[in-house]
Amino acid sequence: MGSCFLLSTPSLLAVFFFFSLFLVGNTSFHGAGVFASFTSFATIHTTKNTDGAEVLLKWKSTFDNHSQSLLFSWHGDNPCSFTGVTCDDFGAIAHLNLSYLGLRGTLDGLDFSRLTSVVSFELANNSIFGSIPSNIGNLSKLNSLHLCFNELSGDIPPSIGMLESLHYLDLRANNLSGHIPWEIGRLDSLLELGFSRNKFTGPIPASLGNLGSLIHLYLLKNQLSGPIPASLGKLGNLTELRISHNNIVGSLPREISHLRNLKSLFLQQNQLSGPIPSEIGRLTALVELDLSNNNINGSIPHSIGNLTSLSFLDLEENGLSGPIPSEIGRLAALVKLDLSNNNINGSIPHSIGNLTSLSFLDLEENGLSGPIPSKIGRLAALDELDLSNNNINGSIPHSIGNLTSLSFLDLEENGLSGPIPSEIGRLAALDELDLSNNNINGSIPHSIGNLTSLSFLYLEENGLLGPIPLEIGRLATLFELWLSNNKINGSIPHSIGNLTSNVPIEMGLLSHLEKLNLASNNLSGYIPMQLGSCKHLLSLNLSRNKIQGSIPPEIGNTQVLEDLDLSYNILSKNIPSELAELRNLQFLNISHNSLFGSIPHSFGDMLSLISIDVSYNDLEGPLPNVKAFNEAPFEAIQHNKGFCGNVVGLPKCNSIGNKKHNLHVEARIIVILILSFLGFLLLSGTLIVLGIINHHRRRIMKRENNEWANDLDFKSIVSYDGKVFYDRIVEATKGFDSMYYVGEGAYGIVYKAEISEGQTFAIKQTSSSQEDSEIIDLIPFEREIQALTNIRHRNIVKFYGFCFHAQCCFLVYEYMERGSLRTILNNDERAREFQWDKRVNVVRGVADALSYMHHECSPSLLHRDLTSNNILLDINYEARVSDFGTARLLRPDSSNWTAIAGTIGYIAPELAYSTVPTEKCDVYSFGVVALETIMGKHPGDHISWEYSSSAQTESMMLKDVLDQRLSPSGLGLRDAQDVVLIAKLAFECLQANPRLRPTMGQVSRELRFQVPLDMPLSTVSLEQLRILNVKRIGAFQEMVRFQDFICYCAWVFIMMMIAF
C-alpha cells in the first residue's frame, strides 16, 4: 500500500530517480536502502504539499463569502488542483495566479514564510485592501510580483528589498503612500518597476540608479517631489521612463542623455524648470517625448533635430522662447507636434513642410509672426492644424487646399489679411473652420458650400463684405455659424433655414444648426420664415443690421431656442404670439426696433426667461406676469408707448383705463368662446361624415393593395409629397434595373441612383410586408432616423434619410465608389491593388468610427453587426462604416434580433449566453475584421486559437497568414510595423473574456500614436503575439476562468447548431 501511494505522487523526477538507482544496485541491501531513501524523499514533499494547502485554505477563510465561493476548487490537501495554483516538479507551489477574479480580502492572513518556493505571485485587478505584510520578504525565489489595480494602502515595507530574484514588481493603481524605500535599489535583477497611480510622497530615491537591468520605470500620477536624481542616467537598458503628473522640481539632468536605449520619456505635468539640455539630442532612439505643462524656459535646442525616430513631441504649456529651430524639419517620422501656449517667436520655419507624416500640429498661443509658409500644403496627412492666437500676417496660402485630410483648422486671433482662398473648398473632411478675429476681406467664397462635413464655421470679426453665398445652405451638418462684425450685406438667404443641399426634403434631412450669429453687419431684407425649420437652434443673433418687416411667427417652431437677439434693426408690426412657444428661451432682446401693439399675454408662460429687453419700441399694455418682466430694470422697458405692470416707474394695471381695456378683452374672449363652440359642432359633424367616407375608401384600397403603382402612401419624417421622390428613384434606376444593382446585404438590396446631376446615392430597398408594417411604429422609427442623421464622422457612411411605403422602404445613403471591403478582398485583381498602406488606413478608419460611436455620441451607439460586408470604401480607399442601427430600425421588436445580434463568424462568444449586446461585442467584431483585412480572407480558426494552440499554430509565422497576393516579404518597414501592431491589437480584441478586450477608444489611439513594435515582420509568430497580449493584460490569460471556458464551449456549440 505504501509503495502504491508513493507512486501516485506527482513527482515524476523522483520515480525516474528511484528506478535508475534500483536497476544499477548490486545487492538487495543497496536496493532496500534506495527504496527507503526514496520513501523519505517523497514523504517530505507530500508534507510540503499538505503544508501549502493549509496555508492557502487559511488565507481563503479570511475572504468575504463571495470571494470564497469563487475559489470553490480550493479544498482538500493537494494545492496543485486549486484554481490559480501551479506546482513545480517536486509538488511545491511555484505559481499563484488569482488576477481578475474579483476577490476581496487582505494579505494579512497569508503566511509568506511557508511559501518560500513561490516564483510568481499574481493578484492584479481584485479588491485586496490593507497593507503589504513585511514577511513578504521571505519569498526569496520570487521572480514576479503583480499586485496592481487593488486597494492596498500604507507604506511599502523595506523588506521588499530582500526579493533579490525579482524581475517584475507592479504595484500600480493602489492607495499606497509614504516614501519609496531606498531598499528597492537592491533589486538589481529588476526589469520592470511600476509604482504609478498611488500616493507616494518624498523624493525619487537615488538608489534606483543601481537597477542596471531595468527596462521600464513607471512612477507617474503620485505626489513625488524633489529633483530627478542624476543617478537615473546609469540605467543604460531603460527604454521607457514615465514620471509625469507629480511635483518634481529642478531642471532636466544632463545625465539623462546617457539613456541611449530610451524610447519613451514622459515628464509632463510637473514643476520642472530651466532649459531643455542640448544633450537631449543624443537620445537617438527616442520615439515619444512629452515635457508639457511644466515651467521649462529657454529656447528649443537645435539638437532636437537629431531625434530622427521621434513620432510624438509635446512641449505645450511651458515658458519656451526664441524661434522654432529649422532642424525640426529633420523629424520625418513625427506624427504629433505640439508647441502651443509658450512664448515662442519668429516665423514658422519652411522646413516644417518636410514633416509629411504629421497628423497633428498645434502652435497656438505663442508670439509667432510672418506669413504661413506655402510649404505647409505638403503636409497631406495633417488632420488638425491650430495656429491661432499669434501675430501671423499675410494671406492664407492657396496651398492650404492640399490638406484634404484636415478636419480641424483654427487660424483665429492673428493679423491675416486678403481674401479667403477658394481652394479652401477642397477640404471636404473639415469639421471645424475658425478664421475669426483677423483682417480678412473680400467675399465669402462660393466654394465654402463644398465643405459638407462642416459642423462649426467662425468668420466673425473680419472685414468680409458682399452677400452671404446661397451655397452656405448646403452645409447640412452645420452646428454653429458666426458671421458677426463684418461688412456683409444683402438679405439672409432662405437656404439657411434648410441647410439641406439639394437632397429632397422628404428624405427627412433636417437642419443641425445650433448657433447662428450674423450680428453687426449690413444685412437688409426680411427674416426668412425658413429659419423656423432649424429645430436644433439654441442661439439666434441678428442684431445690429438693417433687417425690416415683421418677426416671422415660424420662429416659434425653434422650440429649443435659448437666446434670441433681434435688437437694433428696423422690425415693425406686432410681436407674434407664437414666440410664447419658446418655453426654453432665457434671453430675449428685441430692443431698438419699431414694434407696436401689446406683448402677448401668453408670454406669461415663458418661465425660463431670465433677461428681457424690449426698450425703444412702440409697445403698450400690461407686461406679462412672469419673473423676467417683473424684475426687469426700467432701462429694459423704457421708451415705449405705454406699459403698465409691477415694474418700478410704471402705473399699475388696475387703473380705470386698464379696467376698460380688460373689459374689452373679456368681451372678445366671450365672442371667441361662442364661435369656438359653434365651430366644434360643425367640425364634429364633418368628422363623422369623413369617417364614413374614409371607411368606404379603405375597403376599396384594401382590394387594390397589390397594385404597386397606384398605391403610393409614402411616409417620411416631414410632410412632403413622397411620390415625387419615389418617381425620381424609379427614373434613376430605370425601374430597379439590374444594371444599377450594387449588392445585397442582410437588410435589403442596394441600388445606385443618380437623383440629379452630380448627386449619386446608394438606395437600400428593404421589403415592407404587412407584418413589418405593423411592427414599425413610425414615431420611434422617425426618432431613430433623426438620431442616425445626426451622426457625423469622416469614417461613417452619411445617412440622408428614408422613404417609407406600405410595401417597400428605402434608406438613402452616401454612395461609395469602391463598394464593400469584402467585395475587394474576394476579387484577386482588386485585392492586389489594395496595398498595405491602404489596408492599414482602412483598419484605422474603422477603429476611429467605432470609437466615435462608443465614446463621442450621446447616448453611445452600438453597431451590433460589424462585418467586412458593411465597411465601404470611397474612391481614395477611405473606410466608411455602414448599416449601424439598421436592424433596430427595421425590426425593433424582433426576437431574432435579440437572440443573435450579428453575423455568424463575427459574433462575440458572450452572446451565446447573453442577449444584450455591449460595446465589447463591437470590439470583438472589429478584431475579426482587422485580421480579415490583413489576411485577405476571414481569419476562421485563428479566432479561437486561445483555446486550441497546437504546436503547429504556435509556430506559425504571422507573414505566412497575411494576404499572399501582396507578397508580405515586400512590405516596407513602416507598413510592416503597422501590420504587426494591427495583428497584435486584433488578437487583444478577440479575447474570450469581454473584460479583457480594450475599448475602441484605446484601439483607435494606439493605432494613431502607439510606438510601432520594434521587431521584424519575418520573425513574428502567432505565439509571440499571444505572449505580447499576456504581458499587456497580466498573467490572467495563463488561466482561463472555468465559467468563461464553459461559456466559450456553449458559444461554439450554438454556432455549430446554427451552421448545421
Residue 564 φ then ψ, to 5°: -130, 120
Q: Are residues 754 and 833 in the same domain?
A: no
Q: Which residues pair with 311 in a beta bridge?
A: none
Asked if the model's pLDDT at residue 752 lies above 70, the reply is yes
CA pair distance 871, 340, nearest whole angstrom? 37
Task: Identify the pLDDT of residue 185.
Answer: 95
Residue 154 φ then ψ, to 5°: 85, -170
Q: Is the pTM of this model over 0.75?
A: no
Highest mean predicted confidence (pLDDT) among 533-537, 601-605, 803-807: 601-605
Residue 958 within a domain:
yes
Q: Are residues 757 and 833 in the same domain?
A: no
Task: Identify the pLDDT of residue 305.
Answer: 96
Asked if the model's pLDDT at residue 20 lies above 50, the reply is no
User: To the nearest whole percent, how much of the chain has pLDDT over 70?
Assistant: 77
Residue 698 within a domain:
no
Residue 700 within a domain:
no
Domain endpoint, select from 369, 394, 419? 394
Whether the CB-CB separation of 427 and 406 falls below 8 Å is answered with: yes
Task: Identify the pLDDT of residue 500.
Answer: 34
Cα-to-chain-centroid distance, residue 551? 42
User: To the nearest whole percent, how much of the chain has pLDDT over 90?
Assistant: 49
pLDDT band at 778 (very low <50, low <70, confident <90, very high): low
Whether the CB-CB separation of 645 and 630 falls below 8 Å is answered with: yes
Average pLDDT score over residue span 256-277:
96
- Which CATH number belongs to the domain containing residue 864 in this structure? 1.10.510.10
Q: Is the peptide bond before 301 cis (omega within 30 degrees of 0)?
A: no
CA diameter of the chain: 137
**Strand locations in 428-586 (E):** 432-434, 439-440, 456-458, 465-466, 480-482, 487-491, 515-517, 522-524, 539-541, 548-549, 563-565, 570-573
pLDDT band at 754 (very low <50, low <70, confident <90, very high): confident
Question: What's the one-letter identity of residue 39?
Answer: T
Average pLDDT score over residue span 181-199:
96
Average pLDDT score over residue span 317-328:
97
Asked if the model's pLDDT at residue 897 lies above 60, the reply is no
Q: Are residues 343 and 383 in the same domain?
A: yes
Q: Are residues 804 and 850 in the same domain?
A: no
Highest mean predicted confidence (pLDDT) among 383-392, 531-540, 848-857: 383-392
Residue 340 within a domain:
yes
**Least reliable range by pLDDT among 403-412, 701-710, 913-922:** 701-710
Q: What is the pLDDT of residues 112-127, one digit of tens each?
A: 999 999 999 999 999 9
Asked if the model's pLDDT at residue 669 lies above 70, the reply is no
Average pLDDT score over residue span 866-877:
90
- Which CATH number belongs to the domain containing residue 630 in this structure? 3.80.10.10
Return the C-alpha cell found at 993: 473574456
Q: What is the pLDDT of residues 40-81, one digit of tens each?
A: 444 444 445 668 899 999 999 999 999 999 999 999 989 999
Residue 388 within a domain:
yes
SS3 for 350-415 is: HHHHHCCCCCEEECCCCEEEECCCHHHHHCCCCCEEECCCCEEEECCCHHHHHCCCCCEEECCCCE
Task: Identify the pLDDT of residue 475.
Answer: 86
Q: What is the pLDDT of residues 416-472, one digit of tens each?
A: 999 999 999 999 999 999 999 999 999 999 999 999 889 899 999 999 999 988 888
Task: Identify the pLDDT of residue 698.
Answer: 53
Q: Are residues 791 and 842 in the same domain?
A: no
Q: Are residues 883 and 1000 in the same domain?
A: yes
Q: Are residues 987 and 888 in the same domain?
A: yes
Q: Are residues 738 and 640 in the same domain?
A: no
Q: Are residues 805 and 841 in the same domain?
A: no
CA pair distance 703, 710, nearest whole angstrom? 12
CA pair distance 857, 430, nearest whole angstrom? 19
Residue 752 within a domain:
yes
CA pair distance 396, 455, nearest whole angstrom? 21
Q: What is the pLDDT of residues 944-989, one digit of tens each?
A: 544 444 445 556 788 888 988 887 766 777 788 888 889 889 989 9
**Least reliable range by pLDDT among 194-203, 242-251, 627-636:** 627-636
The residues that are catalytic are 865
Task: Identify the pLDDT of residue 11.
Answer: 40
Domain endpoint, select from 815, 841, 875? 815
Whether the CB-CB separation of 304 and 326 falls below 8 Å is answered with: no
Asked if the model's pLDDT at residue 13 lies above 80, the reply is no
Task: Identify the pLDDT of residue 665.
Answer: 53
Q: Are residues 849 and 810 in the same domain?
A: no
Residue 848 within a domain:
yes
Asked if the model's pLDDT at residue 716 lies above 70, the reply is no
Count of domains forming the chain: 5
CA pair distance 241, 220, nearest whole angstrom? 9
How confident is the prediction for the chain on average, in pLDDT?
81
pLDDT band at 899 (very low <50, low <70, confident <90, very high): very low
Task: Identify the pLDDT of residue 406.
Answer: 96
Whether the CB-CB separation of 647 and 634 falls below 8 Å is answered with: yes
Q: Are residues 827 and 792 in the same domain?
A: no
CA pair distance 1002, 445, nearest whole angstrom? 39
Whether the CB-CB separation of 886 and 861 falls below 8 Å is answered with: no
**Least reliable range by pLDDT among 348-352, 497-501, 824-828:** 497-501
Q: Are residues 257 and 297 in the same domain?
A: yes
Asked if the model's pLDDT at residue 890 lies above 80, the reply is no
Residue 110 within a domain:
no
Domain endpoint, select from 378, 394, 410? 394
For 778, the domain range is 713-815
Task: Identify the pLDDT of residue 651.
Answer: 84
* Eight-class DSSP state of 577: G
Average pLDDT score over residue span 734-753:
75
Q: What is the pLDDT of residues 993-1033, one digit of tens each?
A: 888 899 998 898 888 765 555 566 777 777 777 666 544 54
Task: Identify the pLDDT of residue 464.
Answer: 95
**Least reliable range by pLDDT among 764-778, 806-820, 926-940, 976-990:** 764-778
Highest mean predicted confidence (pLDDT) among 11-15, 234-238, 779-783: 234-238
Asked if the model's pLDDT at residue 362 lies above 80, the reply is yes
* Eight-class DSSP state of 292: -
Tell me how far CA of residue 1007 lies from CA of 770, 832, 933, in angstroms: 46, 23, 15
> Is 336 a known ligand-binding residue?
no
- Which CATH number belongs to the domain containing residue 758 in this structure? 3.30.200.20
